[in-house]
Structure 1
Amino acid sequence: MYSSLPVHPFAAMFPMRADDDLDAMAESIRANGLRFPVVLGMAAIDDGSEPMLCVVDGRNRIEACKRAKVQPHTITLNGEDQDAYIADANLERRDLTKGQKAMLIAVRFGDERKGGRGKTASTNYAESSQLSVRRVQQARAVKEYCPEMIDSVIDGKTGLDEAYAEAQRRRQLGQATDTRYEALRESDPDLADQVNEETLKLNEAEAAARVRREEEESTLRSYAQTVKDISRYITAFGKPGIEQLARLYVSNPERFHTDNLIGDLDVWIAIATAIKEKINEQAR
């Protein structure tokens, strides 16, 4: 009967005992009866669902009773904190590693839940389970950066140290990614917008930005070559050529492709001066 009841979501996170352990429990129940009742309660099994009768504690005892062909007796919680009851009943299990316990605490208890003496619930349960707070913090990092590894750690298939190493790698990669994105946002905000809109991946946007810089550098080199060419032409004039140019412009301005040579020269002088000042500024 009770084996058909759903299991409380937090209790369901704890792995079932090994098959040999269940056989041993069944043998003990067959010989001595069930010493500890199965605990029932009302809880929402899925997010947003209505509370329903479920197994709060005793899933292994139900299975052992089934093997022993013994009908389990039950008690029903009435107003007690079910998460706290499940934690108290299961976190002392000797078949769970400290990594498994730390992950279960990290998954179920957030820092917002206060326990005794102003401590968080996770800190209290870590201390009662003889875990360091650091281990729970490592488990939280796994929860944040490697959520797909949570079940594997809880089931004991992956050690917490291994999962935490992967979480650290992903966190560092994420920090590096943030730095790269901020640099892109500063240099090429339009490309950063496309990354946000997911029309470009970050590495694609960075590649596009590099192409822009190369094109800009090529254009600047071309400008520098133009300045050099003009300098060579003017130098080749010499003083007599300059005087001849001035007389010719004044006497026949229509032969020049400009109606304001003096204005054009002023622009060039201003540009040349600005370039010179910037080069000297960068060189300092």
Structure 2
Amino acid sequence: MTTVTDAVSTSAPRTSNPIVQSVRDSLVVARRNLIRMLRIPEVVIFGLVQPIMFVVLFSYVFGGSMNVGGSTSPALYREFLMAGIFAQTVTFATAGAGAGIADDMHKGLIDRFRSLPMARGAVLTGRTLADLVQTALTVVVLAIVAVLVGWRVHEGLPKALAAFGLLLLLGYAFSWIGALIGLSVRTPEAATSGGLIWLFPLTFISNAFVDSNQMTPWLRHIAEWNPFSATVLACRELFGNLPPGYQTPDVWPMQHPALASVLWSIVIILVFRTLAVRKYRSATA
């Protein structure tokens, strides 16, 4: 805690511009969390194991039985699958964000931050930025594993980078949901459970692992308006991973998935950042 206090108190002098001060404080907190992650590498390593297991299991166990675009080709399904695995990975970082903030609350570190002359929202912003860096590292490793099992990008590097940008934006948006959960529970264990229990139906009632056109009508409508589905479909289009016979659902989010993905992410950030900062202020008041 002394290191954190010294890091913040010895940073650049206070400025009268609240925006500049908030950015500066957020970066200091983000740096603190990144250093903490480097000192506990097993957290990063274990975070990589789950998505790699999903890639291998879905590719080789279910790959030959999944029908996408009228084909059950394992190679086609592996390419169809990867956008869903990427999106699931970035959203599952929500649990880590919530657990980290809950742990800081539990240990009283938030009270130390409260005693410092820093922007109130900087603690949460710094934490979510550090989680974004960790998520980006996970995505890079996951992409390497995906290439090894046969996944390929067919639309060029610029579109692939745009797809990864949409994924990281979605992950950052969901980290604010994790922040709110972390502030609303008493222990890191509860934050981890609370951060995952709603993510499983969100990711599975979507187009991440199966073609939503094959779902029953009421379930298909939920999947098509799921923010998760918009990002997954946008990434498939940008990666060039849509199977030849795929029929795009005739609803607005699926017809304009990239725009829908950006809009959903921005709305989630605005809503849950506001709620999380308000909860932080009331929790430390």
Instruction: Pick the TM interval, shorter chain.
Output: under 0.3
TM-score normalised over the length of structure 1: 0.24
Task: Identify the structure with the greater strand proportion.
Answer: 1
Structure of higher CA gyration radius: 1
TM-score normalised over the length of structure 2: 0.24
1 or 2, which has the higher helix percentage? 2
